[in-house]
Amino acid sequence: MQIGPRYKKARYLGTPVFKKTQSQKFAMRSQRKEKTGGRRRARSEYGKQMMEKQKARYSYGVSSGQFTRYVREALAASGDNAKNLIRTLESRLDNVVVRAGFAPSRSAARQLVSHGHITVGDKKVTIPSYKVSSGDVVGIRKGSQGKAVFAKLAEEIKSVKAPAWLAVDADKKEIRVAGEPSAETSDLLFDVRSVLEFYTR
């Protein structure tokens, strides 16, 4: 997915949705821009909901069409629509790779997957949007384990706090999906309810 200038996009959204913008440097830049940029025109309710949708898309690195499909599936399924949507987004293979610390960002995770470095159940998977299920074991393809990108992986994994539904084995460099994918609403950079309201107007 083509994104463009990440700093500019994140400032417009008002949220550090990209890895490179989750830094003190970006926060300081944003504060300076706010002080010198004058007052922003108040957004309508529709505009606010649109903004939350964009935050969600960029947070997970999902195209507009794909995100719309995820939302429609979440609305059509039984149960809590918000949890349905988050479950779908979190269960993407590229998200699992970055959540477990195997990649520093979702764009890097997508690259690892699309280049054939990641396996699910010992089978190579090259589709970043591949949906993992409880019990799946995600690992590194044997032919890729010696590559420089994975040289310090065991150390890097130990410094990352993976979500409870992922069991990460730093020594084996494996990720086991131990439960139902989820995310705490407080940890999200967007309002999932506003996103759903945008699509049900």
What's the predicted TM-score (pTM) here? Answer: 0.80
Query: What distance in Å separates the CA atoms of residue 126 and residue 118, rounded to the nearest whole number?
Result: 7
* Selected residue with higher pLDDT from 11 and 181: 181
Q: What is residue 43's predicted lDDT score, i.e. its pLDDT?
A: 76
* Selected residue with higher pLDDT from 148 and 35: 148
Whether domain 6-88 has CATH 3.20.130.10: the reply is no
Domain coordinates in residue numbering, the chain: 6-88, 91-177
Yes or no: say if 75 and 200 are a contact pair by the CB < 8 Å rule. yes
Q: What is residue 2's predicted lDDT score, i.e. its pLDDT?
A: 46
Has residue 40 got a pLDDT over 60? no
Mean pLDDT, residues 45-72 taken together: 92
Q: Which residue has the tokens 């999906």?
A: 177
Mean pLDDT, residues 76-98 taken together: 96
Tens of pLDDT, residue by residue over 103-131, are 998 999 999 999 999 999 999 999 999 99
Query: What distance in Å separates the CA atoms of residue 4 and residue 19, rounded to the nearest whole number?
Result: 14
* Selected residue with higher pLDDT from 24 and 175: 175
Question: What spatial distance separates the first Cα and last Cα of the chain, rounded to whole Å?
Answer: 27
Q: Which residue has the tokens 């890729």?
A: 144
Tens of pLDDT, residue by residue over 17-37, are 566 556 555 555 555 555 555
CB-based contacts of 197: which residues, under 8 Å, 6+ apart? Answer: 49
Has residue 56 got a pLDDT over 70? yes
Q: Which residue has the tokens 């989750």?
A: 22
- Average pLDDT over all residues of the chain: 85
Q: Which residue has the tokens 């949507």?
A: 85
Q: What is residue 165's predicted lDDT score, i.e. its pLDDT?
A: 95
Mean pLDDT, residues 80-90 taken together: 95
Tens of pLDDT, residue by residue over 186-197, are 578 899 999 999
Query: What distance in Å separates the CA atoms of residue 175 and residue 135, rounded to the nearest whole number?
Result: 10
pLDDT band at 140 (very low <50, low <70, confident <90, very high): very high
pLDDT band at 14 (very low <50, low <70, confident <90, very high): low
Write out the DSSP string of 111-170.
Answer: HHHHTT-EEETTEE---TTPBP-TT-EEEE-GGGTTSGGGTTHHHHHHTS---TTEEEET
Whether domain 91-177 has CATH 3.10.290.10: the reply is yes
Q: Which residue has the tokens 């970055």?
A: 98
